[in-house]
Amino acid sequence: MEKYDIIIVGAGPGGLTAGIYAGRQGTRNLILDKGFAGGLGREVPEMENYPGFDNISGMELIDKMKSQAIKNCELHENENVLEIIKTDDEYRFTIKTDKNSYLSKTIILATGSSHRQLNAKGEEEFKGKGVSYCATCDGFFFQGRDIIMVGGGNSALQEALYLDNLGANVTLVHRRDEFRAQKHLQNQIKEEGINVIYNAVVEEIKGDMLVESVVLKDTQTGVLTDLPINGIFISIGYIPHTELAKQLGVNLDESDHIIIDKEQKTNIDYVYAIGDVCVGLKQWVVACGEGAVAATSAYHDLKNS
């Protein structure tokens, strides 16, 4: 089996940054990802708060980061990690994937998260038929059509603005009476004249072959309203991928996120965690910072072991 100093599970912004830092410190390291590098970062339509860029898409930034990372580390895309086994040997971890097995002295978990679902009636039935979780993936197909964006955070408002710019007729639906997104995004929603329905949740998604309407429930009065639409985009948060962390006995908080210290260390020696799978602020720049810290922590622990 191939042996490494550091294996990073996940090639999102944090994982790629960890690979850059680990490689520049002279360690032999490998990044494994079950899909393509970037994860959910590939779906971000545009960012205006990433240092160094006035405006950049997630896909463009991932391409730049990937090109830099592969100069410093190995990257295996489309290789799913199935199991991590802790041992008492010098190479403390055996990593089994759907393609191979590896040994490593340390592990950095950058496993990310997935879209949280509404669990509304009709949601599963109409996935890919008008129900979408990715504006950049599917927005083009809804130009000139009536759609709703469900959510009230940064991602929901960013994607609503993106869809509006594409030419879709967007209505934002939020379960509370105010957004939790950054103020400048809320101001942009007002400036663009995007319609907002507050205090409403989606009870049912209806249609024949494709989505034709949604049933909205007023959270204050309980009144149901049938709203004709052609599509529904959902951005209501994320579920952390902690399956591998649980295998290793890593401590999680009540929301299933990995608990880490200021050096990105978990309660398991030589296991670190970064990005959306951890407790903390879900921001691209934060994941990158955590990747740098974790790789440096791993390097120092290897030197002192």
Q: Which positions are catalytic?
A: 134, 137-138
Rounded CA separation 132/160 (Å): 13
Q: 135: number of CA atoms within 13 Å, CB side?
A: 30
CA 110 to chain centre: 10
The residues, any chain, with a CB within 8 Å of residue 224's CB and separated by 6 or more, are 203, 215, 216, 217, 218
Rounded CA separation 281/118 (Å): 22
The count of residues in the chain is 305
Query: Cβ(166)–Cβ(139) under 8 Å?
Result: yes
Rounded CA separation 9/67 (Å): 18
- Helix ranges (H only) for 70-151 are 135-138
- In this structure, are strands 81-86 and 93-97 parallel, antiparallel, or unpaired? antiparallel
Q: Please report which helix (H) or strand (E) contains residue 234, including its range.
A: strand 231-234
Residue whose C-alpha is closest to residue 299's, from 259, 250, 263, 249: 263
